[in-house]
Amino acid sequence: MIGQSLNDLWYGFGIALQPHNLMWSFFGVLVGNLIGVLPGMGALTAISMLLPLTYTMHPVPAILMLAGIFYGSQYGGAIGAILLNMPSHPPHAVTCLDGYPMTKAGKGGTALGITMIASFFAASFGIMVMIFASPLLVQIAFKFGPTEIFSIMLLGLLAGATMARGSPLKGVAITVVGLLIGIVGTDVNSGVQRFTYGIPELSDKVELVALALGMFGVADFLRSVNRTQFVGSETKVRLRDMRPSKAELKQAFFPMVRGTLIGTLFGAMPGTGPTITTFIAYAFERRVSKTPERFGHGALEGVAAPEAASHSKTQVDFIPTMSLGIPGDAVMALILGALLIQGIQPGPQLITEHADLFWGLIASFWVGNILLVILNVPLIGLWVKLLQVPFRYMYPAALFFIAVGVYSTNNSLFEIYEVLLFGVAGAILLALDFPVAPILLGYVLGPLVEENFRRALLLSRGDLTVFVTRPISAAFIGLCTLLILAQIFFAVRATMRKRREGLDAAAPPLSNVPGIE
Amino acid sequence: MKWLACVLCTLIVTVAQAQAVYPAKPIRLVVPFPPAGATDILSRDLMQGLSARLGRQVIIDNRPGAAGAIGSEIVAKAAPDGYTLLMATTSTHSVEPTITPNLPYDAVKDFAPVCLVATSPNVLVVPVTLPVNSVKDLIALAKAKPGTLNYGSAGTGGIVHLTSEMFRFRTGIDIVHVPYKGTQLVVPDLISGQISMLFDNIVSAQPNLKTGKLKAIGITGLKRSPLMPDVPTIAESGVPGFEASTWFGVYAPRGTPPAIIDKLNRELVAVLQSADMRARLANLGADPVGTTPEGMAKTVAAETAKWAKVIHDANVKVE
């Protein structure tokens, strides 16, 4: 089987290295790298903006490019965090903690060098996992019918809703909003128009691109007006500075390995965001360290581990998305949407049915990561300069591109109104501390859950027990139950503990304890 | 008064000149479906030929949405000057008018037919594990085990659904409808055997037929397809007269001058006769037609009546 995988990988390299595909892959990582450096312009914004471009492209270069943006932006994010103490995206916020102190100590080049090595190592590991785990999935490919897909999607939805940052109640609420937005349009089963209010444009669902760009692009811009300050930096990074010493390499090696493993684990679990992954990698590193007091003052381990985790997660994230159709986070949900638009149903069949796409993508990961390492050296200086472009030029330009991108999805102005509406709604939600990513999860997964549920019942002639009598489906339903039980358990334990602490602290005036009066 | 006369004269002369040299500017062909779909590819191939013959570019304008209703409405309300045309299909002009209440256009009153360019039959495919090798076998199996076979479709009220309902009604068998969001999404469940039959596009069915995962047992057209000459038509396998093909035709807004319509019709027919265009259409699984405007009106009316009867007989409702 390993031989077969290597053979397929060889075939994949043949596809990834075709000039046309290589060009789009290069374009993707370049845009991603740029976007990664810019604050507020995440991979999500960039992918939504370029999504319409892919409608007329062949699926292979389209997905290669979108994936390139995704992992390209990870490299870019680290640059802003280390050199300017500016977390362009949340996952890299933790890199600031030790990366920026290193820059202040004149070791910024080393931090970037280590980041690059850790990233490449972690990405390669993630790719290997993808190569060898995927053929296993092919074996069970056609055992996945509507019944099984429903159970998996349900798990993805639950995981996404309950594991979001912050208040679980808000996470669930916002997922439900996503589900409701997903319902808009023509029902597949009956042909009935739902929530369209007689507007013909809505009969084809709310536009994915408009939703994503509104919630993540426009909303973010509106929120950061007059808030973002650009810190100039005189840092000059030369290639010589980026080469870490032997001792530094040794110091960073095990944190890198541990970070990679944490990222791989979280990547395989859908619904865990990239931010939580890097924070856990950092916290774990600090706990196992013999000198935890160095953390926060320029500890090399504090840069290597989270960056490695972020990269291996990015690669491994593609496994559940491509082979099960469950997106791990919002970016993956968007890539899933791009596949569906191309008429490609993600699922275990994808690997055999679209072998060129799957293996081409895997090979392009490697090609892209090598391109990024090479690109980063000359471009770092340029990116740092770009960060000094004032807000009043950069953000209106970005808004203009958003409008163009959304218009071109259906050549109609209706989508521009949609993006405006979602932008304003998104800004309000952000102001109220709601996580907006679960909206996209609900929007993409909701209709799939419903469709497959009804399809499974049509096939079983209305017999609900199919979901537990078919073994694969039963296993996933079991996991769903466990997830809900665990959530209840943690919630109950937290309240109990709070109450007990409350009792201990406020023992004399008993009337202060909530619930007693 | 003098200046008004002058202006009018100039206007008349300009209009006359514009008509004499039609087309004086690029023509827009609205394709009411997304890029890269069957209608889009067919339109692009055809319009490349038409552009060359007219000496003016015909621009494809994709206006997808609401099963083709959004693009059709744009053309229905466009100026009838011959510079806005529509690539219509069975869906927009033969099925939607019957099935959708409050359609924003009238398929007959708002349009002037130009030329029916092509028809495209489907192929009936079954999983290789299903013990049938012909349409007769399939009907026998369905009659032996009523209510156990499932058929997939690309959505309620779509052409695949209606073709299957017509097949069900004509053969008197009992099969269950399982809708999907596109025929390509039915294929995995068809291969695994959960779905027993699908009226699929001839071209997109080829890969799975070649690798032996699916079997083709009948063509929905009245003639066999040059892409698979061994597969009999359904009409010759025991369901006489069974015919369900998608048609593609060019419309102009109602009120377009007949001279322009005649010119477009002549040029389109000429494009369809070229060997190169015939080869391209064959690759798409489509048969070139090339009617007169009157012929198109007649064919579309007959198709609309046929599908209306299926919708009525099978009691298909969309709210």
pLDDT attached to residue B104: 87
Q: How many domains does chain B have?
A: 2
Q: Using an 8 Å Cβ cutoff, are A313 and A264 in contact?
A: yes
Amino acid identity for residue A253 in this structure: F
Q: Using an 8 Å Cβ cutoff, are A422 and A211 in contact?
A: yes
B12 located within any domain = no
Mean pLDDT in chain B? 87
Q: Give the gap in angstroms from C-alpha A51 to the nearest C-alpha of chain B.
A: 14
DSSP state of B111: E
Statement to judge: residues B217 and B290 lie in one domain: no
Question: In B, which residues are within 8 Å of A412 by CB distance?
Answer: 63, 65, 70
Closest partner residue to B66 among A204, A451, A458, by Cβ?
A: A204
B318 located within any domain = no
Whether A462 contacts chain B with CB within 8 A:
no
Statement to judge: residues B128 and B63 lie in one domain: no
Query: Which of B183, B214, B237 corresponds to the end of one domain?
Result: B237
B297 located within any domain = yes
Statement to judge: residues B189 and B134 lie in one domain: yes
Q: Is the pLDDT of residue B290 over 80?
A: yes
* CATH code of the domain containing B274: 3.40.190.150
Is this complex's ipTM strictly greater than 0.90?
Answer: no
Beta strand spans in chain B (E): 27-31, 58-62, 84-89, 111-127, 150-153, 176-179, 198-201, 214-219, 245-253, 287-288
Q: Give the gap in angstroms from C-alpha A196 to the nearest C-alpha of chain B.
A: 11
Residue B112: left if φ>0, alpha if ψ -120 to 50, beta else—which one?
beta
Statement to judge: residues B137 and B214 lie in one domain: yes
DSSP A49-67: HHHHHHTTS-HHHHHHHHH
B10 located within any domain = no
Q: How many residues can be counted in chain A? A: 517
Q: Is the pLDDT of residue B7 over 70?
A: no
State whether A345 and B194 contact (CB < 8 Å).
Answer: no
Question: In A, which residues are within 8 Å of B317 by CB distance?
Answer: 191
3-class secondary structure, B289: coil
pTM beyond 0.80, yes or no: no
B30 bridge partner residues: B61, B86
Q: Give the gap in angstroms from C-alpha B251 to the nearest C-alpha of chain A.
A: 21
pLDDT attached to residue A139: 64
Query: Which of B237, B265, B289 corresponds to the end of one domain?
Result: B237
Question: In A, which residues are within 8 Å of B29 by CB distance?
Answer: none
Backbone torsions φ then ψ of A325, nearest 5 degrees: 80, 15
Whether A142 contacts chain B with CB within 8 A:
yes
B130 located within any domain = yes
Closest partner residue to B178 among A55, A198, A459, by Cβ?
A: A459
**H-helix or E-strand spanning residue A186:** strand A185-186
Q: Using an 8 Å Cβ cutoff, are A135 and A362 in contact?
A: no
pLDDT attached to residue B256: 94
State whether A203 and B66 contact (CB < 8 Å).
Answer: yes
State whether A410 and B65 contact (CB < 8 Å).
Answer: yes
pLDDT attached to residue A269: 64
State whether B319 and A410 contact (CB < 8 Å).
Answer: no
Whether A195 contacts chain B with CB within 8 A:
no
State whether A145 and B178 contact (CB < 8 Å).
Answer: no
Q: Is the pLDDT of residue B263 over 70?
A: yes
Residue closest to A412 by CA, chosen among B221, B317, B30, B151 = B30
Statement to judge: residues B302 and B285 lie in one domain: yes
DSSP B177-235: EEE-SSHHHHHHHHHTTSS-BEEEEHHHHHHHHHTTSEEEEEESSSS--TT-TTSPBSG
Whether A241 contacts chain B with CB within 8 A:
no
B158 versus B6: the higher-pLDDT residue is B158
B128 located within any domain = yes
Whether A194 contacts chain B with CB within 8 A:
no
Query: Is residue B83 very low, low, confident or very high in pLDDT (cuts 50, 70, 90)?
Result: very high
Statement to judge: residues B253 and B300 lie in one domain: yes
> CA of A172: how far to CAs of A162, A178, A438, B202, in Å?
7, 10, 8, 45
Show pLDDT as tens, one digit a residue, over chain A (517 residues): 567 778 888 888 888 888 888 999 999 998 888 887 776 566 777 787 787 778 778 888 988 899 899 888 888 888 877 877 766 666 787 887 888 888 878 787 888 888 888 988 998 998 888 888 776 766 666 677 889 888 888 887 777 676 555 677 888 888 889 999 999 988 888 778 888 888 888 888 888 778 877 887 788 778 777 665 544 445 555 666 677 788 888 888 899 999 999 888 877 765 566 777 787 788 788 878 888 788 878 888 888 998 999 888 888 888 777 776 767 667 787 888 788 777 777 776 777 778 888 888 888 888 888 888 888 777 777 776 766 666 677 677 778 877 877 787 677 889 899 999 999 999 999 889 887 777 877 888 888 889 889 999 999 988 899 999 998 899 989 988 998 888 788 878 888 888 877 665 544 444 333 333 2
Q: Give the gap in angstroms from C-alpha A408 to the nearest C-alpha of chain B.
A: 10
Question: In B, which residues are within 8 Å of A349 by CB distance?
Answer: 188, 191
Closest partner residue to B189 among A146, A200, A343, by Cβ?
A: A146
Query: Which of B169, B203, B237 corresponds to the end of one domain?
Result: B237
State whether B156 and A198 contact (CB < 8 Å).
Answer: no
Statement to judge: residues B126 and B211 lie in one domain: yes
Question: Domain of B126?
Answer: 121-237
Q: Give the gap in angstroms from C-alpha A462 to the nearest C-alpha of chain B.
A: 12
Query: Is residue B90 very low, low, confident or very high in pLDDT (cuts 50, 70, 90)?
Result: very high
Q: Specify the range with the lowest mean pLDDT, choosing from A159-168, A174-183, B139-148, B267-276.
A: A159-168
Statement to judge: residues B273 and B308 lie in one domain: yes
Give dist(CA A443, CA A455) in Å, integer. Answer: 19
A154 versus B125: the higher-pLDDT residue is B125
* CATH code of the domain containing B192: 3.40.190.10
Q: Is the pLDDT of residue B235 over 70?
A: yes
B2 located within any domain = no
Residue closest to A429 by CA, chosen among A216, A273, A276 = A216
pLDDT attached to residue A91: 75
Q: Give the gap in angstroms from C-alpha B13 to the nearest C-alpha of chain A.
A: 35
| Closest chain B residue by Cα to residue A145 | B189
Q: Is the pLDDT of residue B102 over 70?
A: yes
Question: In A, which residues are within 8 Å of B157 by CB distance?
Answer: 191
Whether A465 contacts chain B with CB within 8 A:
no
- Tracing tokens 């312009």 back to the chain, one arrives at A41
| Closest chain B residue by Cα to residue A415 | B65
Range picked from A219-228, B28-37, B73-82 for highest mean pLDDT = B73-82
Find how far residue B175's CA is from the centre of its chain: 25
Q: Which residues fall within 8 angstroms of residue B315, CB to CB, at 6 or more apart? A: none
Q: Using an 8 Å Cβ cutoff, are A304 and A298 in contact?
A: no
State whether B70 and A198 contact (CB < 8 Å).
Answer: no
Q: Give the gap in angstroms from C-alpha A445 to the nearest C-alpha of chain B.
A: 14
State whether B179 and A188 contact (CB < 8 Å).
Answer: yes
Interface A–B counts its CB contacts (< 8 A) at 85
Q: Which residues fall within 8 angstroms of residue A202, CB to CB, at 6 or more apart? A: A184, A185, A193, A195, A196
